[in-house]
Amino acid sequence: MLTEITVGLCSACIGAGVSYLWLRSSSIKRFSYLELEAKAKAKALEHESQRMLQEAKLKIKEEELVLENKYQKRFEDVEQRNRDLIYESKMLKKEEANILKLQNRAQEINSALEKMEEKKQARIDDLIGLIENVASMTQSEARAKILELVEEKSKASVAAIVRKYEQQAREEGEKKANYILAQATTRYAGDFAGERLINLITLPSDEHKGRIIGKEGRNIKTLEMLLGVDIIIDETPGVIIVSSFNLYRRAIATRVIELLVEDGRIHPGRIEEIHEKVEAEFEQKTYEEGENILIDLGIFPMESELVKLIGRLKYRASYGQNALAHTLEVARLASVMAAEMGGDEKLAMRAGLLHDIGKALTQEYGGSHVDIGVELCKKYGEHPTVINAILAHHGHEEPGSVESAAVCSADVLSAARPGARREVLESFTKRVKEIEAIALSHEGVDRAYAINAGREVRVCVNANQLSDNESALLSLTIANEIKDRVQYPGEIKVNVIRESRSINYAR
C-alpha cells in the first residue's frame, strides 16, 4: 500500500515536471514570436514616420516657394505702382505748369482786349464828334431824326399787317361760327337722343300700374330681379319709367313689360316665361345685326360668339357715343388709311371692327375692355394684328404694323371729333382747372386760360423774366407735363404769348 502511494507520488512529480518544462518551452517560443512581431511593427512605424517626415518637409518647401512667389509678385506690383505714381506726379506738375501758362496768357489777352476796347471807344467818340461837326447835329438829334425816318417807312408795313390780321380775324370768326353750329347739330342729333338713360313705356290706363306692382310688390320685385333694371312708377299718368345704364338690359326690360301689358296676364310665372322668350329673341337679333354688318363690310367668316358681341355693341355707349357707330367709323377710317399706306385694308377693317369688342361684356364681367377683347380674340383665333390693335389703341403696346397704327389713328379721330362724345360737366371742369394749374405753376407765367373746350391753353408770360427762346422751351415743358398728368382725347395746343411793351408819357 505504501509502495503504491510512493509510486503514485513519484509519477505525479515526474508528470508535473514534464508539464512545467513543456509549458516553459511553449512560453519561450510564444514570447519570441511576439517579440519578433513587435520589432517588425516598430520597424514599420519607423519607416512610416520617416515617410511622413519627408512629405511634411516637401510640403513646407512648396509653401515656402508659393509664399516667396507671392511676395515677389506683390513686391513687383508695389514697385510698378510707385513708378506709376511718380509718372503721374510728373504729369500733374506739367499740367499745373501748362495751366499756369494758360492763365498768364489769358490775363495778357484780357489786358490787350481792355486796351483795344479803350482805343475803340476813343475812336467812336472821335467819329461821333466829327459827324456832329459835319452834320451840325448832336447825337440825340441824329437819333431822333433816324427814328422819325424809320417810323415813316414802317407806316405802310404796319397798315398791311393790320389789314392782314383783320382779314384773318374775319376768317377765324367764320370758322368758329361754323364749328359751333356743327357741334350743336351733332350734339343734339336724333341718334344721341335715343341713348338716354331711361325708357318711357306708355300704359293703356293707370290700372296697369297696380297690376305691374302686384300684390305686396311681388310682380315689380320679380321684374327688377330678372331684368336687372330699376322700374320707376310715379304719379305721371299713363307711363312708367325703366332706368338703367345698361342699354341692352333696358331694351329687353322695355320689350318684356310691353308684351306683359299687351297680354294682360302679369304674375311671376308669366314674367319669367316672357323674359326667356324676349331674351332669346334679342340674342338672335344681335347675331343677325352683327352678321349683316360683316356682310356689308365683306369680312366674313368670323366666330358666331364674336358676331353676336358685335351686334350687342349697338346697346353700349361710351361718353354718350354709341359703341357700334364708333366701331364702324373706326373700321372704315382704318381701312382707308391702311389702303393709302400700302397695308391690308381688309385686315385693318377687321381690327377696327374688333378693337372695342370687350365693351360688349364690361358691364356684365367688369374689368378693362382691352383685356376682355384680347382674351376673346385669342380664344377665337383672331389674327395677331387684330390683338395688337386692341392693345395699342389705348397705349398698352406699341403698334406693330400699318394696320394697327391705322386703327389707333382712326380711334382718336372718331372719339375726338366735335359732338362725338358727351362729357360730364364735372370731369370737364376738373380737366380745365388742372391744365391751367400746370401752366400757372411755372415761373414767369402771369396768366393761363384753357379755351376751345379745353383743347387749347393760352399762357401769357412776363416779357421781363423770359426771353423768346425761354418761351419756346416753356411751351414744350407745359405740353409734356399735360401729356403725363392729364387724361384727354385728341390733342391740346399750348400757346405761349410773350408781349413786350414800351410806355412813355407826354407831359
For residue range 207-255, list pLDDT tens digits in order: 777 888 888 888 888 888 888 888 888 777 888 888 877 777 888 888 8
Whether the pLDDT of residue 329 is over 80: the answer is yes
Whether the pLDDT of residue 190 is over 50: the answer is no
Domain 425-499 class, CATH top level? alpha beta
pLDDT at position 202: 79
Contacts 24+ apart (CB under 8 A), 322-328: 322/191, 322/195, 323/356, 323/359, 323/360, 324/293, 325/191, 326/356, 326/414, 326/415, 326/420, 327/352, 327/353, 327/355, 327/356, 328/293, 328/353
Confidence of residue 44 (pLDDT cuts 50, 70, 90): confident
Whether the pLDDT of residue 186 is over 60: the answer is no
Cβ(277)–Cβ(344) below 8 Å: no
Compute the average pLDDT of residues 9-25. 72
Compute the average pLDDT of residues 429-438. 83
Phi, psi (5° rounding) for residue 378? -65, -40
Here the cell at position 433 is: 382747372
**195-284 classified as CATH 3.30.1370.10:** yes
Here the cell at position 115 is: 486796351
- pTM for this prediction: 0.45
Compute the average pLDDT of residues 268-285. 85
Compute the average pLDDT of residues 414-428. 58
Whether the pLDDT of residue 331 is over 70: the answer is yes
Percent over 70 (pLDDT), the chain? 78
What are the residue boundaries of the structural domains of the chain, listed by start?
53-96, 195-284, 316-416, 425-499
Q: Which residue has the higher pLDDT, 475 or 5?
A: 475
**Which residues have CB under 8 Å from 403's CB, separation 6+?**
334, 338, 343, 344, 347, 348, 351, 385, 389
Confidence of residue 163 (pLDDT cuts 50, 70, 90): low
Confidence of residue 327 (pLDDT cuts 50, 70, 90): confident
Q: 316-416 falls under which CATH superfamily?
A: Hypothetical protein af1432 (1.10.3210.10)
Whether the pLDDT of residue 261 is over 80: the answer is yes
Confidence of residue 451 (pLDDT cuts 50, 70, 90): confident
Q: Which residues pair with 497 in a beta bridge?
A: 460
CA distance 383 to 295: 19
Q: How does the average pLDDT of the chain come out, rounded?
A: 78
Q: Are strands 198-202 and 239-243 parallel, antiparallel or unpaired?
A: antiparallel
CA distance 213 to 190: 33
Q: Which residue has the higher pLDDT, 187 or 429?
A: 429
Site of grid cell 372718331: 414
- Angle (nearest 5°) at CA 469 between 466 and 470: 40
Whether the pLDDT of residue 172 is over 50: the answer is yes
Minimal CA–CA distance to 489: which of 397, 391, 422, 400? 422
Confidence of residue 99 (pLDDT cuts 50, 70, 90): confident
Same-fold call for 316-416 versus 425-499? no
Confidence of residue 160 (pLDDT cuts 50, 70, 90): low
pLDDT (tens digit per residue) in 112-144: 888 888 888 888 777 767 766 665 666 666 666
pLDDT at position 324: 81
pLDDT (tens digit per residue) in 492-501: 888 888 877 6
Compute the average pLDDT of residues 257-275. 84
Least confident residue range of 78-92, 172-186, 445-459 = 172-186
pLDDT at position 427: 65
pLDDT at position 192: 42
Whether the pLDDT of residue 193 is over 70: the answer is no
pLDDT at position 188: 44
pLDDT at position 191: 44
